[in-house]
Amino acid sequence: MSGIERLGLRVSSMINHPVAQIQRWVTIHRLDTDGEREWEEVMGLLSETDGIDMTFNDDESVTLRWEASSDEDRPVEAFEPLEEPAPF
């Protein structure tokens, strides 16, 4: 796995965390293992994403904020019944 893939997965996981989804913001800290090129590329992709507000903090972290999506934008999930009918 490349450095950019690893960083992308970490950022995606942080954004999709249930607490971040409720509060609609997350702060991403750059780790020592995040290369300059990888960090800049991921930050560039985030800056091009509609609906995300980026704040570059003094400690070199980045805070992302977003608005709640409308009901029309939310994915619809289908749930399967958890119990199977009795075989008799």
Range of the domain at 48: 3-66
76: in domain: no
State the sign of the Cα–Cα–Cα–Cα dihedral 32, 36, 37, 41: positive
Q: What is the pLDDT of residue 11?
A: 95
More confident residue, 84 or 33: 33
Q: How many domains does the chain have?
A: 1
More confident residue, 50 or 72: 50
Q: Residue 25's closest CA among 57, 46, 54?
A: 54
73: in domain: no
- What is the C-alpha to C-alpha distance for residues 7 and 32, in angstroms, rounded to an integer? 11
78: in domain: no
Tell me the average pLDDT across 26-40: 95
- What is the C-alpha to C-alpha distance for residues 88 and 85, in angstroms, rounded to an integer? 9
Tell me the average pLDDT across 54-80: 76
30: in domain: yes
Burial of 15 (0-12, 13-18, 19+ CB in 10 A): middle
